[in-house]
Structure 1
């Protein structure tokens, strides 16, 4: 993933709606991951799903030596069977063993009840910059794996590589999610599992570029029509012109069956930090190229979450920090028009805040799993349950 923004100096509180949570039941807040515990320096990159049995599965990257994106990193999991009040023991789902495993993208298959988890890998000895510049071997570079659980997340199969099916030869960097993937439940593609992802491409022959320029980032999805056993590449954003540089992305299926996709813009020249589009064919193609979402201009350059609430009055929700120049003040936005426009609904805290993911938490509540801290953005990964 791209390097995070530098840790900002204290900022004045941004104008925002009141902080949420005042009228929520007990257990609306807990901390499944705290830095410098369980043998890890830092926990980052949260992803959360709710199983068919109501169990919350909170995934993260456990970074052993530092907060760096490079090095020995495991995919870890904590489960909650009481709505996020308490969390079970930390388990390692995909062990790096000195290498980097991360970018968890879990999804609950509604037809089988299994949890399918797609993750990314690279050698712990190489950096994103080296990968983007083409300075690594295929074995050292970014690779993609899938796992599954049939026992409510208590255990997972060993990672199975699917790189050859979902990564084009010209691509260098590759990242799944991060955040939950999507199981389509409506329309002719019902049952399809869709994983938002991003990549970088090699420069064209004869170019003086080295491939690390942000314009070589692009978004895409991978999908499976057989419960995660075989995988295919869906739409590919491959403009590479530097105007819109789609990066980490998330998706949700709208009530009309379309897929809404929202992506981080990694320093494209177009004004704005969020890009979006829709797909009417289950992620095979985009209805239009990615374009700036101007009603999310308060969001900095960061990964974010989206979620379509169920029910006749369910809104499309977006989670992310709400200070344009800093990772601070985690907030939720609401869209009543399928992602055409968003308005801020609630701010959870004025503390520093980074990556986030969303899940329905029952009884009209939404769960937010996000990076936060008072002095640093990655002090803990916090769980919040809010009414939106």
Structure 2
């Protein structure tokens, strides 16, 4: 039986369980309910719980929360989500607030909403940083990482996609320091356009570089009279006080996210321009990946994941270590090779070699996304939907095999 048929079968069970739940609520309210009916319903739920690698929306579909809506708070459009879970259990939802248009440059501020109850409620938006009042200064591409030793949150972002800045919070994201410009230490002279993330960075836990803070980035270089994009990483070995850049990964790669694997290897997953700009159409339409064995300083040759199709767009990726020491990877992007729609969450149980589990999050227009692990088998996703009108938050439950 194909995976599509199995998914349909599982979805049918979900609907059946929901219908029985409503029936039982009605019967229970009228006459105390039926033990037999309850047992049948619980049996259906048990089948779902035992389904290997099953993904389900946690709670009612109506519990999707639009954290940022176009026109809210004086901003024309909200884009470029980043979602970070802190060691204290707080969720930080960052984004760009674009004041006058949907364009990637202009008067753009860096915004944040906090949740201290797992995403059930959210504090009002706050401006983390802006420049020039109404002047067309672009502040964006948020990418945050937590130093687990000090619980300091480091937030990387860019000014006008040229300068690289860091701000930090020592109170779980309530307040933020004045930014420090680290451009001179991380940007090469041949680099032009520059972006951090967007998304999250990681702190390494294994090997000789344990404790290192790593931020995924990308930049442009002029090659034979045209702009070529490259992914790379910047990192700090002194708790965020200083930063330096590693080598570029591959030409025709761009926005990226990275994770640490069980043996300390770094896996970087990148937006892919090989088909459009690199003259290699057979390499297009799927995510580019590479590995580093020295903490992000250098990278292997690029390869391409045939399962992770993409329309040239940002994607999100996190690694989750389970109590038994094994790990899973969660990945989300628009699962189409042509247009930004069909946002899909995928799960790998073998460190990205295969992606046997998938869940369609949104069948409509959807683009950038951010993921955070909530614990107890739940992953949170913040994503752009409905032609960039909303940044929407949703929790998905993962039944792990």
- TM-score tier by shorter-chain length is 0.7 to 0.9
Once residues 354 and 271 of structure 1 are traced to their aligned partners in structure 2, the CA distance between those partners, rounded to angstroms, is: 18
Cα distance, 1:380 vs structure 2: 0.6
Q: Which has the higher helix share?
A: 2
CA contact (8 A) 2:328 2:347 kept: yes
Residue matched to 2:121: 86
Cα distance, 1:313 vs structure 2: 4.2
Deviation track 1:139-164 (CA, whole Å, cap 9, x = no partner) reads xx601000100011001011110000
Residue matched to 1:316: 329
2:140 alignment partner, SS class: strand
1:164 alignment partner, SS class: helix
1:115 corresponds, among 153, 164, 169, to 153
Once residues 218 and 6 of structure 2 are traced to their aligned partners in structure 1, the CA distance between those partners, rounded to angstroms, is: 31
Residue matched to 1:357: 370
TM-score between both structures, scaled by the size of structure 1: 0.83
Residue matched to 1:304: 315
CA contact (8 A) 2:327 2:351 kept: no
With over 3 angstroms needed to count, the CA separation of the structure-2 counterparts of 1:103 and 1:22, relative to structure 1, is closer
1:331 alignment partner, SS class: strand
2:112 alignment partner, SS class: strand
TM-score between both structures, scaled by the size of structure 2: 0.80
Deviation track 1:36-77 (CA, whole Å, cap 9, x = no partner) reads 101100000000111111010000000000110010001100
Moved over 4 A (4+): 14-20, 25-28
- Bigger radius of gyration among the two: 2
Unaligned runs of 5+ residues in structure 1 are: 1-13, 123-140
Residue matched to 2:166: 146
CA contact (8 A) 1:58 1:79 kept: yes
2:394 corresponds, among 378, 384, 387, to 384
2:148 alignment partner, SS class: coil
Aligned length: 339
Higher RCO (C-alpha under 8 Å, 6+ residues apart) = 1
Unaligned runs of 5+ residues in structure 2 are: 12-54
Residue matched to 2:30: none
Most deviating of 24-33 and 67-76? 24-33
1:236 corresponds, among 245, 248, 253, to 248
Residue matched to 2:232: 220
Residue matched to 1:58: 93
Residue matched to 1:251: 258
Alignment of 1:1-388 (within 5 A): 17=7, 21-22=56-57, 24=59, 29-97=64-132, 98=135, 99-122=137-160, 142-203=162-223, 207=224, 209=225, 211-212=226-227, 216-237=228-249, 240=251, 245-266=252-273, 267=276, 268=278, 269=280, 270-286=283-299, 288-297=300-309, 299-311=310-322, 312-373=325-386, 376=387, 378-388=388-398
Deviation track 1:157-190 (CA, whole Å, cap 9, x = no partner) reads 1111000000000110111111011111222211
